[in-house]
Amino acid sequence: MTGEEMRQLERAVDEITEIAKGFGLDFYPMRYEICPADIIYTFGAYGMPTRFSHWSFGKSFHRMKLQYDLGLSKIYELVINSNPCYAFLLDGNSLIQNKLIVAHVLAHCDFFKNNVRFSRTNRDMVESMAATAERLRQYEMQYGKETVEEFLDAILAIQEHIDPSLIRRHFSWAEDPEQARSALAAHGKHPYGDLWLLDEDERKRRESAEEEAKKRIERFPPDPEKDLLLFIEEFSPRLENWQRDVLTIMREEMLYFWPQIETKIMNEGWASFRKGA
């Protein structure tokens, strides 16, 4: 893209942004980035420019890129749900294509900003994923690539088992984390739970609570838990610290991606409809 084309695009974007505001679209400040195909396909495969490395992303990158190379698919743009909102445009889009794409992107951003499903997503995810990717690299150096990869394999298998509900409490069967923990203690499975019993007052309090709890709670957890990742993270007796950390990371990322999966069609629909307007 030459400097002249760049200036033309800038003028066009300026105009489109004004029109979109006129229609009442409400979006974050935009960061457009023009990048070559293999970069845009990398982002597509990872879901985020800064996400951690894993072979399964490499696999889907390869498959998507192959389809592009064979002319079977083309990603014109990629929008990230963040503030400011990043939009990646494929290098090689013509000016007229880019005009249409920019209108489309603005509607996407409006959707991200205002749809209730996205109301609790982390808008700084780009930076936060970069930080976690860095942390994962640290773990790889510390504990070995194979070990970390094996653990990632395991979590990726269950990563969809989170609870994306907007009115989520900590656990669906407990009011707050403290209650969940005491429920576990009552169940008698906490590795250091017995230490509490050294304290006289605590023991008495616990015993009475246990009596009560035993009546209520026969098994643990009392109700089936939807958020598998959270449950394991909180209660697994054998996770090491770094593993627990990785688990938390993966859960956060999944919670971030979930609304996108959930609203994919509506999101595209909104963007196409607005673009048409």
What does the binding site for other proteins look like in residue numbers (CB under 8 A)?
A: 1, 6, 9-10, 13-14, 17, 29-36, 38-39, 41-42, 45-46, 53-59, 61-62, 65, 84, 91, 153-154, 156-158, 160-161
Least distance from other proteins to the Cβ atom of residue 59, Å: 4
| Shortest reach from residue 268's CB to other proteins, in Å | 22
What phi and psi, each to the nearest 5 degrees, are found at residue 88?
-105, 125
Question: Which residue number, 35 or 239, has a Cβ lying nearer to other proteins?
Answer: 35
Q: Are 182 and 213 in contact (CB under 8 A)?
A: yes
Taking CB atoms within 8 Å and a gap of at least 24, the contacts of 147-156 are 148/246, 149/54, 149/55, 151/243, 151/246, 152/52, 152/54, 152/246, 152/250, 155/229, 155/246, 155/247, 155/250, 156/54, 156/56, 156/250
CB of 176 to other proteins, least distance (A): 27
User: With respect to other proteins, which residue has the nearer C-beta, 11 or 203?
Assistant: 11
**Shortest spacing between CB 167 and other proteins, in angstroms:** 25
Q: Are 125 and 94 in contact (CB under 8 A)?
A: no
Question: 13 or 183: whose CB is closer to other proteins?
Answer: 13
- Name the residue nearer to other proteins (CB basis): 22 or 29: 29
Shortest distance, CB of residue 194 to other proteins, whole angstroms? 19
Measured from the CB atom, the residue of 55 and 273 that comes closer to other proteins is 55
CB 163 within 8 A of CB 230: yes
Position 64: which residue type?
A: M
Tokens of 85: 């909102």
